[in-house]
Amino acid sequence: MPAPRTRRTRAALAAGLAAALTAVAALVAPLVTAPPAVAAIDARALGARYDSSGSRITFRVYSSAATRMTVNVYAAPTGTGENASYLLTRDATGVFSTTVDVAALRAAGITGTVYYGYRAWGPNWPYSSTWTKGSSAGFVADVDAAGNRFNPNKLLLDPYAREISHDPLRPGMTTSTTYASGPAYRTTDSGPHAAKGIVLAATTPAFGTKPTRALKDDLVYEVHLRGLTRNDPSVPAAYRGTYRGAGMKAAYLASLGVTAVEFLPLQETQNDTIDVDPTGTAGDNYWGYMTLNYFAPDRRYAYDRSPGGPTREFQQMVKAYHDAGIKVLVDVVYNHTGEGGVYTAGGSNVYDIVSWRGLDNPTYYSLTADRQSSWDNTGVGGNYNTYNPVAQDLIVDSLAYWKNTLGVDGFRHDLASVLGNTCQHGCFNYHKTDPNTALNRITREMPPRPAGGGAGVDWIAEPWALGDGTYQVGNFPAGWSEWNGQYRDTLRRDQNKLGVAAITPGQLADRFAGSSDLYGDDGRRPWNSVNFMVAHDGLTLADLYACNAKNNNQAWPYGPSDGGSDDNNSWDHGGNAADQRRAARNGHAFLMLSAGTPMITGGDEVLRGIRCNNNPYNLDSSANWLGWSPTADQTTFRTFASRLAAFRHAHPALRPANFYSAADTNGNGMPQLSWFTPAGSAPDSAYWGNANNHALGWRIDGTEFGDPASAVYVGYNGWSGDVNFTLPSPGAGKQWYRVTDTASWAEGPNQVAVPGSEALIGGQGTNYLLRGRSLLLLVAR
């Protein structure tokens, strides 16, 4: 992920100044009441809301240490001063509020949409009656000993705004220091330029009927919403790259067998500057992992960008997917914010003040032990303070809004180990079972979907970040599924690092069978393993088998992009295109035939490549948008992928609710799952642990799962040469029929047989020659 500012610097305050700040804090302390540990949704009713009659607006915002708060209201989002300003009153819980008659706003000249923002004073900048916008009156320091960074010259975006007017930086306004603190910038008034909240009338949920399908039965399609249709000629030009356009692709995704679309972040992020230089990449934020507001759907993805338009259009898109039986999952970023970290030049006191930092810096952010700097062990500018109850409220309240008002069915959490942090300042301590972590509170407030399906939320974690203690694959609490990075790494190495990486048959079996070693010791199930070969963050499926290394420093539209992992476990197969396609067929087949929840990435179905760029976070370009003019080979692969997905959906034996058993529970002589060497015998411990063995077969007893096939058999030959497989019993009176062989000899539109047209192979003891680096799929009937 991009990190606009990752270099950390510190500037110590002079001893005399520190003492003065401590004294100020002591004077203010009696006014501050510790926030209650709220364990409910929307308990404080924060934000700006019309009353039921639409005649009054109540503004409510939280701050533990602010001593004065005003709300400025505007008739236009930029270029002018406020039409009116109202002083808010603080209650005993730290909530500042005021109620304003709409008639008074009309009299002040606000005859349409109400735009608003806050100005806050506190211990490091107490209120002075001589203060005017752009002055330093009352200033003590940019930061005090408690970590407060109040600055009344910075207009603050409401964290609970339902929509926002624009990004802080945009065409015509690219001066980031407008929002900065520090000696050179602290008196710059950001009001005329700052993003404002938009007061919306209450929204009626209009997102159709939510699917209740169990996660184990889903096929997830991860895609960038704009990139899905930006280059699609079947979508009217005005709708390409929008929520409305994305909704038009529901039927296409359903035809692929997709049952859940997972969009990269859709909450407002700093991306308006992308259009300043259409072919430039400096500072661009295409992926959207720098969130500016946790409630507002990003306007840039809306055809209708008028106030309320993005919300309505998002709901309509969700309804289109729900009508097609497809869940909508959204990637969310609660580990850091778009407010960013310390400036790379200027010292530890130079930070942007846009929203959370100016309202309550130590509540919303994890800080160093001295409270002077951001705590950053993820490389993205500073951690969100997920262990603070008020900061947690914002997480929970916004998730509930996306779930209940916007209709979202589940969430993938970026760098989710930060949500398990139990230390607010000066450290990072992940804890799986602490009931007070954001991880456990989220699932307590909004229960996960049951194993068998029904109402609930699909919670998915990216279980790692960059820093010490953040890699937690297999160590999330009950109720959470995870991106299984060990699945990805094990199978990539086995495919692409033959003779270099030591992968044993036992390791392969663990991943194919649902990773019980990771999820079986804490009550979780195989479907809690979200299996993937590639994701947005890394090489595409095509590039995984066509690139020996990343190549990010290319000219537009394929780059340049910085960052990206050097450890890709990729291989170009000697440049042989047929071998590359065969490897991709194997990688896709692994997902469709493994226990767990499979996830593919947008464009994988047609082997989309981006010339080895493995970190294209900043490329809003034709190279990064999905293509819609497939070649003949790409069309063939799409048929292969969709037919394998249909096979998975048709065979519940591949989608177990619990880990497979080695017992014969129905007395037909076949265990639920049996493993075989190519010779047809059961592997012994020596075979399981020998990394020089590169072939494995397994049979699933379909009768244990109500499967239409009495048995399913998979044979995988990871060797470069051919291997003869001796087939096990298909069951009494049954024969084996071939669904697919991924070898190059079989490539074509019917490489996966249409049900009923499978070729007869034979019964127990039949020999099958499986070509090098190929996979065989059989059914018994």
Annotated catalytic sites, by residue? 414, 462
Element (H, E) at 541: helix 541-544
The answer to whether 619 and 286 have CB atoms below 8 angstroms apart is yes
Q: How far apart are CA 158 and CA 195, in angstroms?
A: 10
Q: How far apart are CA 191 and CA 82, in angstroms?
A: 8
The two beta strands, 95-101 and 115-121, are: unpaired
Closest to 470 measured CA to CA, from 572, 561, 359, 386:
386
DSSP 505: H
The answer to whether 703 and 779 have CB atoms below 8 angstroms apart is no
Q: How far apart are CA 544 and CA 584, in angstroms?
A: 8
User: Which two three-digit tokens encode residue 338?
Assistant: 């778009």
Closest to 531 measured CA to CA, from 99, 216, 761:
216
Q: How far apart are CA 294 and CA 395, in angstroms?
A: 8
Q: HEC string of 15-77?
A: HHHHHHHHHHHHHHHHHCCCCCCCCCCCCCCCEEEECCCCCEEEEEEECCCCCEEEEEEECCC
Rg (CA), the chain: 28
The answer to whether 602 and 224 have CB atoms below 8 angstroms apart is yes
Instruction: Please list, in sequence order, all residues whose beta carbon lies within 8 angstroms of the beta carbon of residue 229, skipping any fewer than 6 positions away.
Output: 235, 239, 240, 241, 242, 245, 246, 248, 249, 626
Q: How far apart are CA 398 and CA 446, in angstroms?
A: 12
Q: Provide the Cα torsion 188, 370, 270, 321; round to 10°.
A: -150
Closest to 589 measured CA to CA, from 34, 413, 356, 581:
581
